[in-house]
Amino acid sequence: MQALATITSGRLSGAVEGGVSVFRGIPYAAPPVGEARLAAPRPPEPWTGVREAVEYGPTAPHPPYEEGMADTLPERVIPGDEYLNLNVWTPGTGERGLPVMVWIHGGAFTNGSGAEPGYEASAFARSGAVAVTLNYRLGAEGFALVDGAPANRGLLDQIAALEWVRDNIAAFGGDPGRVTVFGESAGAMSVVTLMAIPRARALFRRAIAQSGAGHTTLRAEDARTVARVLAERLGVAPTGAGLGAVPAKRLQEEQSRIVAELRGRADKELWGERLTALGALPFSPAVDGELLARRPIDALRAGEAADKDLLIGTTTEEYRLFLAAPGLIDHIREEHVAAQAAGTGLAPEAAGVYLDRNASPGDALAELGTDAVFRIPAHRVLEARAAAGGSGGTFGYEFAWRSPRFGGRLGACHALEIPFVFDNLGDGRNLAGPRAPQPLADAMHTAWLRFAAAGDPGWPQWDPGRRPFMRFDDPESALVEDPHARTRRLWEGLLD
C-alpha cells in the first residue's frame, strides 16, 4: 500500500507498514559532493513526478568502529552521494497538529546514521507522534575547522534538517510549532549545542538529551590543531580545498588514526591537555565565534534556551560499554584509576573512593569514566538551568536496568536505553539482548511521548535541593533523590 505526500521539493510515495505511513530517504539538502563537499548545505533540487521514498537513502561516509566495538554497535552502510536525507514515520498524512520528534543519532561525531535498525520509529507513530531521523556530515567532513570552509558543517546540516521539518512536516500531520529534538551520545551533545545557537533553537520547542550534555565542544585553537595535523599527515593544505580533495576512504583512515592516538598515550606537547582528556572527541563542534559563540554549558548558564523544556539524563554505568565490550575491563589496575582521577583534576583521595566502592579496578574506572564524561556534565546542565530560571521545564532521569549481555558485564551501559525509548526491542541483537523487559520499554516510551506532547514526562521537575531523577528499571521505576551523592560531591568545583 502506498502513502502519498507533497512537500516543497515535489511529491513523494512512501509505504504503509503495520498501519504506519513511512517515507524514507527524503533529501533535505543537495548532495555535498565536489566543490560542495565542505560547503554549507544547500537546498535539494526539486523533482517532477512522484519520487519513491520507500527505502533508506545513502548514509554519510564514515569509517568502521574500532575493533571490539563493531560487533556491539552494528552500522548500516548505504553508498551514494545523496546522503543528506531523512526519514519520516507518521500515523497518516491526513492527520493534523501532531507532536513531532526529531532524532539526532550518536556515534562520537564520526559514525552512525538515521537509518540504523534501532532507530526504526514506527512505535512513535503508532502512539500518535510524527517521528523523524536524519543523517549529517561526520568526522572531518562535518567538523574539521579549516580556512575556506564554514565551521561546524555537521551542525549546519542538522539545522537544515530542522528547517526542512519546519517547512514540510505539516504534510505528514505534524505541527511545526511542537517539535522536540532528541538524541543520544553525540546526538545528545548536538541537542544541547543546538540550544546554544539562536538560529537553531527557533526551530524546536523541547529537547531531550540522552547521555550527552554541554561540555563536549572544542576550542577553536584545538580544532585547528586537529585539522592541521590531519592535513599534514595527508600531505595537503589545512584548507577546505585541501581536505576536500582527499578521497573519502583515505580521509577516514587518517582521522581514525588520530582518534585512536588521542585515546591512547598521545603526545601532550603536540595535542595539548584538552584534546588528550578522558572523553575528548577530536572531530566535534568547535566554538568558532560565529555559529557557536560559546560552549553550550556557558550559554545555558547565561539563560539561553531558558524557555525550552529539557529532559536530560544518563545510564547508570555508561562507561562500561567502552571497557567491557572491547575486553579492557579486566586489564585495568589501580594505578590506571589513580592516573585518570588525577587527569580530571580530582583530589588525590578521590581514586581511593572509587576503588573502595567497587569490586575491581576495572569497575572503579567504569564508574569514574561515567561520572567524568556523562553524569557530572549532565548535573552541570541541570544546575545551569536551575540557576538561570526561565519558563522552560527541566527534568532528570537515569536508566538503571542492567543488560545480561557479555555475561552481565555491560551493566546499565551507554546506549542501552535506546531500544526502550523507541519501544523497539526487536529481535534481540541490540545491547539489551533477546529477553529485555517490555514493561520498561512501555514506561520510557510513554514518558518521552508525554514530554514531547506537553512538556511533562510524568515526574517532578529537577531542583538543586532535592535533585530528583526518575530511575528507570525493571521490575519497577521510581523517583530517587540525589543518586550517587558521594561521588557527585567529589566533583564540586570541577567540570565547570
Distance separating alpha carbons of residues 394 and 241, to the nearest angstrom: 43
Distance separating alpha carbons of residues 79 and 288, to the nearest angstrom: 31
Question: Would you tell me how many other CB atoms lie within 10 Å of the CB of residue 243?
Answer: 23
State yes or no: pLDDT of 73 exceeds 80.
yes
Say if 2-218+284-296 and 306-490 have the same CATH topology.
yes
- 74 pLDDT band, cuts 50/70/90, is confident
State yes or no: pLDDT of 70 exceeds 90.
no
pLDDT of the residue at 71: 77
pLDDT of the residue at 367: 98
Tell me what the mean pLDDT of segment 425-434 comes to: 85
- 53 pLDDT band, cuts 50/70/90, is very high
Q: What's the pLDDT tens digit per position in 183-193?
A: 999 999 999 99
pLDDT of the residue at 320: 98
pLDDT of the residue at 196: 98
- 1 pLDDT band, cuts 50/70/90, is confident
Tell me what the mean pLDDT of segment 65-82 comes to: 87
pLDDT of the residue at 67: 75
- How much is the pTM? 0.98
Choice among 31-35, 66-70, 305-309, 468-472 with the minimum mean pLDDT: 66-70
Mean of pLDDT over the chain: 96
In the chain, pLDDT over 90 holds for what percent of residues?
95
Q: Among candidates 421, 432, 195, which has minimal Cα distance to 313?
A: 421
pLDDT of the residue at 235: 98
Question: Would you tell me how many other CB atoms lie within 10 Å of the CB of residue 224?
Answer: 18
Exposure on the CB side of residue 444, measured as CA atoms within 13 A: 29
pLDDT of the residue at 358: 97
Tell me what the mean pLDDT of segment 168-190 comes to: 98
Q: How many helices (H) and strands (E) does the chain have?
A: 18, 15
Q: Per residue in 39-71, is it b (16+ CB within 10 Å) or e — as a string?
A: bbbeebeeeeeebebeebbbbbbbbebeeeeee
Beta strand pairing status for 10-17 and 468-472? unpaired
Beta strand pairing status for 98-104 and 174-184? parallel
Q: What is the DSSP letter of 19?
A: T
CATH number assigned to the domain covering 2-218+284-296? 3.40.50.1820
Q: Among candidates 470, 473, 452, 448, which has minimal Cα distance to 461?
A: 470
Q: How far is CA 68 from CA 46, 100, 345, 356, in A?
A: 43, 36, 29, 29
Catalytically active residues, by annotation:
185, 318, 414
Handedness of CA 271, 366, 409, 106 (dihedral sign): negative
pLDDT of the residue at 68: 73
- 266 pLDDT band, cuts 50/70/90, is confident
State yes or no: pLDDT of 463 exceeds 80.
yes
Burial class (CB in 10 A: 0-12, 13-18, 19+), 27: buried
Tell me what the mean pLDDT of segment 375-399 comes to: 98
Q: How far is CA 171 from CA 3, 14, 130, 168, 259, in A?
A: 12, 13, 11, 6, 41
306-490 topology per CATH: Rossmann fold (3.40.50)
Q: What's the pLDDT tens digit per position in 99-149?
A: 999 999 999 999 999 999 999 999 999 999 999 999 999 999 999 999 999
What are the extents of the domains in the chain? 2-218+284-296, 219-271, 306-490
State yes or no: pLDDT of 265 exceeds 90.
no
pLDDT of the residue at 452: 98
